[in-house]
Chain A
Amino acid sequence: DSGVTQTPKHLITATGQRVTLRCSPRSGDLSVYWYQQSLDQGLQFLIQYYNGEERAKGNILERFSAQQFPDLHSELNLSSLELGDSALYFCASSLRPESTDTQYFGPGTRLTVL
C-alpha cells in the first residue's frame, strides 16, 4: 500500500458523459500527478500539481481538466467521453515537485466507456 488512495476503483459510463476521478495523496505529500494507462498509448503523463498550482502538463486532452484542492486532494474531470478514453487512470504523489522526488502511485481507477 503506497498511501495514495483513488476512488472509485471502477467506473463504467457511456459516451458523451462526464466523470470525476478522485485522488488523495500520501500524508505530507504536496505534489500530485495524473497518468493514463491504455493498451495503445501505454503509460502517459497527463498533468502535475504542486500545492494547488498546475506545474506541468503532458498529453492531456482539452476535454480533460484537473485541480488540486487546499486539502491537497486532486480531481481529474473527464468530459464528452469517447470509447478511446477507456483506460486505467493513475494518480501519484510526491513530497515535493522536483525531478528527484520519488512518485508513489495509487491503485488506479479503471474507466470503461461504452
Chain B
Amino acid sequence: AQSVSQHNHHVILSEAASLELGCNYSYGGTVNLFWYVQYPGQHLQLLLKYFSGDPLVKGIKGFEAEFIKSKFSFNLRKPSVQWSDTAEYFCAVNAMNYGGATNKLIFGTGTLLAVQP
C-alpha cells in the first residue's frame, strides 16, 4: 500500500529564512506527487505537482520541489519565507494508472509552518 511520510510536524522559522520540508513516499511503481497548502481557516490549495519530466518543479508563491526517485523523496523548498507562508503543508501521492481508473490521493500527516516576523 502507498504511504507518505512527512518527518517535520512543526517548523518555526524567522522571515527570510530558507525552508525545506521533507516528504518520502513508499510505492514501487510510477507515482504522481503533489504539495498542497492549507492557510489558516482556508481550503487546500495546490502549490505544485510532478507527473514526469524535469524533477525540479516550480510552483506558485516561489515554492519548488525536487523529485529524487532513488530516495523516494519529494522535498519542498523556498529560499526565503514570509510571514504569509504560515500554513500547514501536505505532501500527497497517487499511483499513476493508465486507462484512467482512479485518482486517490494519499496524504502525509502535514507540516505546520509558523513564520515569525
Query: Could you list which residues of chain A lie within 8 angstroms of chain B, going by C-beta atoms?
Result: 2, 4, 31, 33, 35, 42-45, 48, 55-56, 58, 90, 92, 94, 96-108
Contact = CB atoms under 8 A, between A and B. Distances in A.
Given A43-B110, A100-B51, A48 B46 contact: no
Contacts of B107: 35, 42-45
Top 7 nearest A-B pairs by Cβ distance? Answer: A56-B102, A43-B107, A105-B44, A98-B100, A107-B43, A105-B43, A99-B94
Interface of B: 32, 34, 36, 42-46, 49, 51, 90, 94-97, 100-110
Contacts, number: 71
A104 B49 CA distance: 13
Contacts of A31: 103
Contact of A42 (B34, B51, B96, B109): B109
Given A45-B106, A48-B103, A102-B46, 14 more contacts: A2-B43, A2-B45, A31-B103, A35-B107, A42-B107, A42-B108, A55-B102, A55-B103, A97-B103, A99-B32, A99-B95, A101-B103, A103-B105, A107-B42
B43 A94 contact: no
A96 B100 contact: yes
Nearest to B6: A42
B97 A99 contact: yes
B103 A33 contact: yes
Contacts of B106: 45
Contact of A97 (B95, B102, B105, B108): B102
